[in-house]
Amino acid sequence: MNNKPIFDGAKLALLRARAGTTQRDLAENVGTTATMICRYEAGTCQPRLKAALRLEDAFCVGRGGLYVKVATPSTDNENVSRHEV
């Protein structure tokens, strides 16, 4: 199973909205396209590291601040019901 953090597009959209900037303006600021910003925010695309770093810098967010950690499935089976056949 993959435990890699996932880019938080909703957080990016919130930061951008709070800053009062458009996707186009943000894209020009970080060197990408408005289409890519839209895809990042929608969660349909993960930015490459270089783009993610520029996005974090644009909003003064610490490294990794635009990522969420992925929860791994619990190996604890206490709450799993077992049905005998």
- Whether residue 64 is contained in a domain is answered as yes
What is the value of pTM for the model shown?
0.77
Q: How confident is the model at residue 80 (pLDDT cuts 50, 70, 90)?
A: very low
- Whether residue 53 is contained in a domain is answered as yes
Residue 25's domain spans which residues? 6-68
Residue 78 has pLDDT above 60, yes or no: no
The C-alpha atoms of residue 84 and residue 39 are separated, in whole angstroms, by 46
Three-state DSSP class for 9?
Answer: helix
Give the pLDDT of residue 76. Answer: 44
Count the domains in the chain. Answer: 1
Number of Cβ within a 10 Å radius of residue 49: 8
Radius of gyration of the chain, Cα coordinates, nearest whole angstrom:
17
24-77 pLDDT, tens digit per residue, is 999 999 999 999 999 999 999 999 999 999 999 999 999 999 999 765 565 444
Q: Can you give the CATH number for the domain in which 54 is found?
A: 1.10.260.40
Give the pLDDT of residue 81. Answer: 42
